[in-house]
Amino acid sequence: MQDSKFLNLARHFSANEWKQFGLFLKSPYHNHSKQACQVYDYLQNCHPKFDQDRLNRKVVYKKLYGSKEIYKDGRIRDIFSKMNKLATSFLVVEQTKQNPFEEERLAMSAFNAHGLYEAANKISDAQIKALEAKQYKELKEYFYLQRLNHNRYFNPANTQQGKDSLHLRHALNYAEQFYCLSKLRYTSEYLARAFQLNEEQPLDQEDIQQVLNDSEKFEAENLLLKCYRQLVLLFREPGRYSWQHYQNIKTTFFTHWKDLNELEVQVFYKHLYNYLVNMTRQDEALYEPEKLILYRFAIDNELILYNSQLTYASFFNIAFIGSKVGEFAWTQDFIQEYQKYLPSEGKGNILALANAILTFYQRDWGKTRELIGPIYFREVSFELVRRSLLLRTFYEIFAEAGEGETSLSSHADTFLHFLSRKSNVKKSKARPYKNLVCFTIRLSKLRVIAKPKAIQRLYRDVKNCDQLTFKPWILDHLKKINPEKQASRV
């Protein structure tokens, strides 16, 4: 019974919602089932976990019908099916109560259905006035305004339709804005998705330009439309020359994010972040600092916490970028302050990894090795990060002190074995890390005997390799190898 639809739904009720649901069930208008009330009373004190022993079908059945009644599985299933329908109805009622605009819309519809057209007009006029007074409107509000003006004009109470065309003009205007905004939203999502997945653009340039042309006249008065126009311009032909488009939308987003709803804020933040991630592969020096600026903005405005928690991925990525761009003091403060928002399970490992990436960029190789050497992640993505960081640490020790070549070689072999096991990593995900290991070993050999042709060959192979993680790190170390100096050491 643990997997019943009703219980899965009820587990997501807040304590107050669960209490209100009990009152809902006791109302004869909403519920005529005595058994539904009995089930609620029986489960009332074990919400939201719903103890397994308490949910035995036969135990519940006996509670409802007594010990003498023969158990019938269909009966208990019917009751819980009814409970699920009642719980769904309760949520609809609660959602309507929390949205006065929706409640008024339903009232207006009811008035029209009963021929109370003037009463419906009063609600319609009040809603139009309230929505038009908003400086920044959501997508659905343009749709509402179009429907309200449409209904106001075509209301049967208006016997002379030609008397006042104001509502008709407004309906047309809002319909066009809703259409343009919707087209921009879907176009930007299409382009951003193709950019993120490195796919061919799904839309013709002429079609994209047409969407931009149609929406241009509304840009000054429609904040949301302006934001989506800037997203389309950003992802239409992303590259170094799209830098100004990125700065434009970042400025708009940073200035007006409080005027957007929660969903839109997450959409724009996600697209800006994914743009920076992809562009970092082309120009790390330009885009890495921008990632930290975006992260800091999200931290300062509490946009990275979900249900008062910070995901392991976000926590590590912030620590990684902060360390990489040299903001060591800020990164250390972040780790100390925000570790309290991490889930408790596995927290020690992710803290060790975050501190290890900090010490790595502080060039404290011994401390890095000490932090991540003993730990292990069940999550493959984090284990790949740990092993690749350890590989680079062994190389840095070898490059700086000229010792530890055996440790580097041993870890490289272990890493390759880990990547080769089918149960660990998918081939597509393993390839960039396999290349990292192979190129690092070739790099280490050049530090012993630096032959100019071998250096040129490695440089060419690295530059031409599309599937390689930490490519800039390899290239940076390759530039540091001086053939004449290495030859004299040998």
Query: What percent of the chain lies above the pLDDT cut of 70?
Result: 95
Selected residue with higher pLDDT from 286 and 172: 172
- When pLDDT is averaged across residues 282-307 and rounded to a whole number, the result is 90
Q: CA-CA distance, 356 to 360, in Å (whole number)?
A: 6
- When pLDDT is averaged across residues 376-383 and rounded to a whole number, the result is 93
Selected residue with higher pLDDT from 453 and 487: 453
Please say whether the beta carbons of 344 and 325 come within 8 A.
Answer: no
Q: What is the band of 487 on the pLDDT scale with cuts at 50, 70, 90?
A: very low
Report the candidate in 410, 399, 388, 390 with the shortest Cα–Cα distance to residue 446.
Answer: 399
- When pLDDT is averaged across residues 296-324 and rounded to a whole number, the result is 93
Task: Report the pLDDT value the prediction gives residue 423, as an integer from 0 to 100.
Answer: 72
Task: Report the pLDDT value the prediction gives residue 336, as an integer from 0 to 100.
Answer: 96
Selected residue with higher pLDDT from 340 and 425: 340
The answer on pLDDT for 485 being more than 70 is no
Domain edges within the chain: 5-97
- When pLDDT is averaged across residues 424-452 and rounded to a whole number, the result is 90
Selected residue with higher pLDDT from 259 and 486: 259
The answer on pLDDT for 486 being more than 70 is no
Task: Report the pLDDT value the prediction gives residue 241, as an integer from 0 to 100.
Answer: 64
Query: What percent of the chain lies above the pLDDT cut of 90?
Result: 63
Q: What is the band of 66 on the pLDDT scale with cuts at 50, 70, 90?
A: confident
Report the candidate in 485, 431, 430, 434 with the shortest Cα–Cα distance to residue 455.
Answer: 485
Q: How many residues does the chain have?
A: 490
Task: Report the pLDDT value the prediction gives residue 68, as an integer from 0 to 100.
Answer: 80
**Phi, psi dihedral angles at 309 (to 5 degrees):** -130, 155
Tens-digit pLDDT profile for residues 120-169: 999 999 999 999 998 889 999 999 999 999 988 888 776 554 456 889 99
Task: Report the pLDDT value the prediction gives residue 489, as an integer from 0 to 100.
Answer: 39
- H or E element that contains 65: helix 57-65
Q: Which residues are paired to 309 by β-bridges?
A: 306
Task: Report the pLDDT value the prediction gives residue 488, as an integer from 0 to 100.
Answer: 38
- When pLDDT is averaged across residues 320-326 and rounded to a whole number, the result is 96
**Phi, psi dihedral angles at 306 (to 5 degrees):** -120, 120
- When pLDDT is averaged across residues 241-245 and rounded to a whole number, the result is 83
Give the sign of the dihedral formed by CA 127, CA 128, CA 134, CA 139.
positive
Q: 11-19: long-range contacts at Cβ-Cβ below 8 A with a sequence spacing of 24 or more?
A: 11/47, 11/48, 11/49, 11/50, 12/48, 13/47, 13/48, 13/87, 15/47, 17/94, 18/44, 18/47, 18/48
Please say whether the beta carbons of 387 and 436 come within 8 A.
Answer: no
Tens-digit pLDDT profile for residues 159-212: 554 456 889 999 999 999 999 999 999 999 999 999 888 888 888 999 999 999
- When pLDDT is averaged across residues 74-85 and rounded to a whole number, the result is 91
Task: Report the pLDDT value the prediction gives residue 69, as an integer from 0 to 100.
Answer: 84
Alpha helices in 68-165 (DSSP H): 73-97, 100-113, 117-133, 139-154
Q: What is the band of 347 on the pLDDT scale with cuts at 50, 70, 90?
A: very high
Q: What is the band of 65 on the pLDDT scale with cuts at 50, 70, 90?
A: confident
Q: What is the band of 481 on the pLDDT scale with cuts at 50, 70, 90?
A: confident
Task: Report the pLDDT value the prediction gives residue 1, as an integer from 0 to 100.
Answer: 58
- When pLDDT is averaged across residues 407-411 and rounded to a whole number, the result is 94
Selected residue with higher pLDDT from 290 and 160: 290
- Average pLDDT, rounded, for the chain: 89
